[in-house]
Amino acid sequence: MVMSMTGFGTGKAEGNNREITIELKTVNNRYLDINLRMPRALSVLEESLRKRIQQKIARGRVEVYISYQNNSQEQVSVSVNEPVAEAYYKALTALAGKFQLDMKPDLGVLADIDDIFIVEKPEEDEELLKELLFSALDEALNAVIKMRKQEGSFLAEDLKQRSLRIENMVKQIEQRSSVVVEEYRQKLEQRLKEMLNNTELDEARFQAEVVYFADRSNITEEIVRIRSHLDQLRQTLESGGSIGRKLDFIVQELNRETNTIGSKSSDVIIANYVVEIKSELEKIREQVQNIE
């Protein structure tokens, strides 16, 4: 199964008056790049979260947004750090006296100073949080993978059709290449006869020139390799898995062989086919960039 690198999914898990919601988005990237945005209360589980994602996704940029709500009625204890409060009060009073301000620090001023208050919350149940987190994550991952598979199947079918179009054009090039040498022979013979005013040709030199042209413009090896690469491309699409990099390499090889055909041939018809093949290969390359 071919997997796209584009996907989106959400997941939610609730338990013991806790609620975790995860939004997960993936886009194409050369490597696996996981970016997490999560509350501090869940940060202890970050490494486990990354490993879970790595088990499901091999390549792409993964954006993970996590929200956490604790709706429990568990008592929160708030007390005043009296020595600290007294120190702040004295410092503020001294500051007012120094600048001859007719005021003293009131409760509102002191209440804005975080250090004065000691907030004690019940410890979170790490196992419960892990269970909820993984439940929400798995739901989001399943949705993402489903979307990546759906788009992947569309990409695979598109690539197969484009590879068949290229194969058909290669067939046309092959048929045309067998005619090009004979056309060159006829044109060369006609041109020489006109230049020599129907004087007898040097047959040996004439044949040598034709052979040289045929050898220089021979593209049999390139055609064989292009067909082999097209077969590899289709076989790779059938194999599934993390195949994006392999497909990218195959497309590079197809481009290289196509360029060689273009440089060897001076025939206009073959040159036009080369342009069309390169256009198809560019579209394939763009699609491959989004395959895992």
Q: Is residue 165 part of a domain?
A: yes
Instruction: State whether 84 and 133 are in the same domain.
Output: no
Task: Kindly state whether residues 59 and 98 are assigned to the same domain.
Answer: no
Residue 46 lies in a domain: yes
What is the number of structural domains in the chain? 3
Q: 61 and 108 share a domain?
A: no
For residue 220, what pLDDT is reported? 84
Give the Cβ contact number of residue 117 at 10 Å: 14
Do 262 and 141 have their domain in common? no
- HSE value, Cβ hemisphere, 13 Å, CA-based, for 231: 6
Asked, for residue 1, whether it belongs to a domain, the answer is no
136 to 7, 59, 105, 123: CA distances (angstroms): 16, 21, 48, 22
120-123 contact pairs (CB < 8 A, 24+): 120/76, 120/77, 120/78, 120/79, 121/74, 121/76, 121/77, 122/74, 122/75, 122/76
Spatial contact of 255 and 282, defined as CB atoms under 8 Å apart: no
Is 264 within the bounds of a domain?
A: yes
pLDDT per position in the chain (292 positions), as tens? 899 999 999 999 999 889 999 999 999 998 999 999 999 889 999 999 999 999 999 999 999 999 999 887 666 678 888 888 888 888 888 888 888 778 777 887 878 887 888 876 767 678 899 999 999 999 999 999 999 999 999 999 999 999 999 999 999 999 988 887 676 666 756 665 666 666 666 666 666 665 666 667 778 889 999 999 999 999 999 997 889 999 999 999 999 999 999 988 888 899 999 999 999 999 999 999 999 9
Task: Look at residue 132 and tell me if it is in a domain.
Answer: yes
**pLDDT (0 to 100) of residue 209:** 66
- 45/130 same-domain check: yes
User: Do residues 102 and 197 share a domain?
Assistant: no
Which residue type is seen at 197?
N
Query: Reduced to 3 states, what is the DSSP secondary structure of residue 62?
Result: strand
Give pLDDT, residue 31.
92
Buried-state track 250-283, b at ≥16 Cβ within 10 A, e below 16: bbeebbebbebbbeebebeebeebbeebbebbee
Give the domain extent around 256: 152-288
Considering the domain architecture, whether residues 87 and 203 belong to the same structural domain is answered as no
Q: Are residues 258 and 167 in the same domain?
A: yes
- Residue at 2 is within a domain: no
* Residue 15 φ then ψ, to 5°: 180, 135
Question: Is the same domain home to 68 and 191?
Answer: no
168 to each of 53, 149, 223, 280, 284, how far by Cα in Å? Answer: 42, 29, 12, 12, 16
HSE of 281, CA atoms in CB hemisphere, 13 A: 25
Check whether residue 46 and residue 90 sit in a common domain.
no
Q: What is the pTM of this model?
A: 0.73
Residue 17: which CATH number? 3.30.230
- The reply to whether 14 falls in a domain is yes
Residue 207 lies inside a defined structural domain of this protein = yes
Q: Same domain for 198 and 268?
A: yes
Domain check: are 168 and 156 in the same one? yes
